Homo-oligomer: A and B are copies of this chain.
Amino acid sequence: MTMGEILVEIMAAERGQSFRKPGLLVGPFPSGAPAIFIDQVARLGHDAAIIGCVGDDDFGWLNIERLRRDGVDTSAIAVLEAAVTGSAFVTYDKTGERHFIFNITNSASARLSPEYVGTPLLEDCTHFHVMGSSLFSPGLREAMARAIQIVKGQGGRVSFDPNIRRELLGIPEMREALTSILKQTDVFLPSGDELTLLVEARTEGEAVEELLGLGIREIVIKQGSRGCAYYDARRRLSVPALTVAEVDPTGAGDCFAATYVTCRHRGMAVEPSLRYACASGARAVMSTGPMEGTAGLADLDALLARGEPTTEAGHD
């Protein structure tokens, strides 16, 4: 299970397109980091559910219909009459950098509060995933703390993807919430320099040591087109990314995390889980739209069997 923002994304059709003048757009696409994550879990055939809020509008129903179609239990998504489903407009500049206009903090997603954590679904939850991007309001932070408490209390595990813009760390409550979640995390999945975001250490080695010292069992550093690095108390692995034509990177990290967590939860060993995660990230960047690149195991197997450079995972 996961909890958080459920959005639509509208994309500029051209690179370098400005939102200060009319142009061609594509959308609405179902989106929101936790929604993408949970859709990918369901696509792997695993039980999956999300707690979240949408407005009673086409954008909300677009998400519910997509998630439901892909096998997600949507019974804990509240459809709010007096709120509008959140949205993100994204345009890519010439260098491939993304530029967003968000309507999230005043959207239905921001209405999420501890009362929504009362869902009976959580009582059966054995794994809960936290997206740092979802912690943008006091109500959400409190709801997340409650959900983690419930799942940990019944012996479940927690994975955590900081997935956060650095400027948000300036908010003291935000850093506090993230640090508190980190201490209850079993599987930590930072992207690149997020590894050192919440620790004292400044080098990769020291950060890993500090994080493992907190009780984290597995650290998977998502490195985009460079693949990923893995650490636990005993070893380090690195797995290269698959070489694919990148169309749209949005959602790749969420798919990567979902596939890694799902494979591990099913008892798969670390190394094949990392390979599937890389394949899932690769599959995601091949499609336009944040949730359009979620994929089933057969798709990922096909991608992995495609005759990719058969570099062995590096052990050091």
Copies of this protein in the assembly total 2
Interface residue from B22, B83, B106 paired with A26 (Cβ < 8 Å)? B22
A contacts with B, residue count (CB < 8 A): 33
Main secondary structure of the interface of A (DSSP, over half): mixed
Interface residue from B10, B61, B105 paired with A20 (Cβ < 8 Å)? B61
Q: A87-B103, A103-B84, A106-B83 are in contact. Are A58 and B19 (CB under 8 A)?
A: yes
**Residue numbers in B under 8 Å from A24 (CB-CB):** 13, 24-26
The answer for the CA separation of A105 and B292 in the assembled complex, in Å, is: 30
Question: How far in angstroms is the closest Cβ of chain B from A284?
Answer: 16
**Residue numbers in B under 8 Å from A107 (CB-CB):** 103, 106
Is A75 an interface residue, CB under 8 A from the partner?
no
**Residue numbers in B under 8 Å from A18 (CB-CB):** 58
Is A101 an interface residue, CB under 8 A from the partner?
yes
Which residues of A in the span 44-69 have a Cβ within 8 Å of any Cβ on B? 57-59, 61-62, 65
Q: Which A residues contact B (CB, under 8 angstroms)?
A: 10, 13, 18-29, 57-59, 61-62, 65, 82-84, 87, 89, 101-103, 105-107, 289, 292
The answer for the CA separation of A18 and B83 in the assembled complex, in Å, is: 20
**Residue numbers in B under 8 Å from A59 (CB-CB):** 19, 101
Q: A20-B65, A83-B106 are in contact. Are A58 and B101 (CB under 8 A)?
A: yes
**Residue numbers in B under 8 Å from A65 (CB-CB):** 20
**Residue numbers in B under 8 Å from A25 (CB-CB):** 10, 24-27
Best-surrounded residue of A21, A61, A103 (most CB of chain B within 10 A): A103
Pick the 3 closest A-B CB pairs, nearest first.
A19-B58, A25-B25, A84-B103
Are B20 and A27 neighbours in the complex by a CB distance under 8 Å? no
